[in-house]
Structure 1
């Protein structure tokens, strides 16, 4: 039995897409960046903490279970861009991304309680140059309000992407190939 430690509808859709049965639950953690923490360490730490929180929250369910936690961040110039606080924050983020290449880092952790394994997938995404009116119109759609980096590649924000090198599904929130491989490895180890 797999527990998805996330309420993200995108992650749920992606897991369903590869035919993985699961139960979702919320895994609330402190997502503050630690002093001198690299983006890679940050996103992996959050995925691990979400998986651990999911493990603790699902303690009353089946004994033989795996818990998956994941996190996705947008990074430009080693700066992690979270979800925007307001329009000014979103505008600042989108201005940074405008006409530039950035990275999307997605970490996935699967735990059996006794052991865990984490993978990190890096994808390069390039944006077209954005005008102030495009940024404001995009904000008005409501889409950027709860998205890392203030955009959703699978939504309206996809029209700003000129090039992607890496995993599209990782940018959406869960790298399908790598997650499937990780679940296979952990399931085999969990059965022993």
Structure 2
């Protein structure tokens, strides 16, 4: 469908198997190219701007490495609970504390995506509200022990067991919660 991209090379700057799978779902050929970046956020940055800031930071890490026909895609997802960013947990206890705080409540998932070529750059954002039923402590521990959600913002993947049994409502894009708002990416790639 994206015939305008036939002479372009799409570069996905992500090791995330979820983002790779989702981009394949748009029938887009791409290659993975990574450039390490320290994801350090200014302490005075408001929580709702963190995803966009990090997406642009990841894009900027490529500097002038892009070829004339290349389009780079970078992305970042954050979970916001009461305007507080829940990042990726470093320990089981941190994962437990995050999930316990999300239990029985609604939180916001924000994903920002930056598309960049040599001549232009755009960052777009999407947000989705996610509601969890009350999660029992043994359910939370089961999820952490079996699924090891240490690479996921907010310590969960909606596409895993905890999403199947715990999410009661979402308002917005499901794929945004997975970390890639495909509808926005597709619309921008159509115009590129």
Is TM more than 0.5 here?
Answer: yes
Residues 3-44 of structure 1: CA deviation (Å, up to 9, x unaligned): 101111111111100111111122321212211211222110
- Name the residue aligned to 2:52: 44
- Name the residue aligned to 2:28: 20
Q: Counterpart of 2:69 in 1: which secondary structure? A: coil
TM-score by length of 1: 0.90
Distance 1:108 1:40 in 2: 14
Distance 1:79 1:161 in 2: 20
Distance 1:29 1:128 in 2: 36
**Contact kept in structure 2, 1:128 and 1:161, CA below 8 Å:** yes
Residues 110-136 of structure 1: CA deviation (Å, up to 9, x unaligned): 011332101110000000111111111
- Name the residue aligned to 1:134: 139
Distance 2:41 2:104 in 1: 27
TM-score by length of 2: 0.90
Of 58, 64, 76, 1:71 maps to 76
| 1:163 and 2:190 aligned | no
Matched length = 183
Distance 1:167 1:143 in 2: 24
Distance 2:35 2:176 in 1: 20
- Name the residue aligned to 1:98: 103
Unmatched 5+ residue regions in structure 2?
Answer: 1-8
| 1:175 and 2:165 aligned | no
- What is the CA-CA distance between 1:87 and the residue it aligns to? 1.0
Aligned CA-pair RMSD: 1.4
Unmatched 5+ residue regions in structure 1?
Answer: 188-192
Q: Greater share of helix residues, 1 or 2?
A: 1
Distance 1:40 1:2 in 2: 28
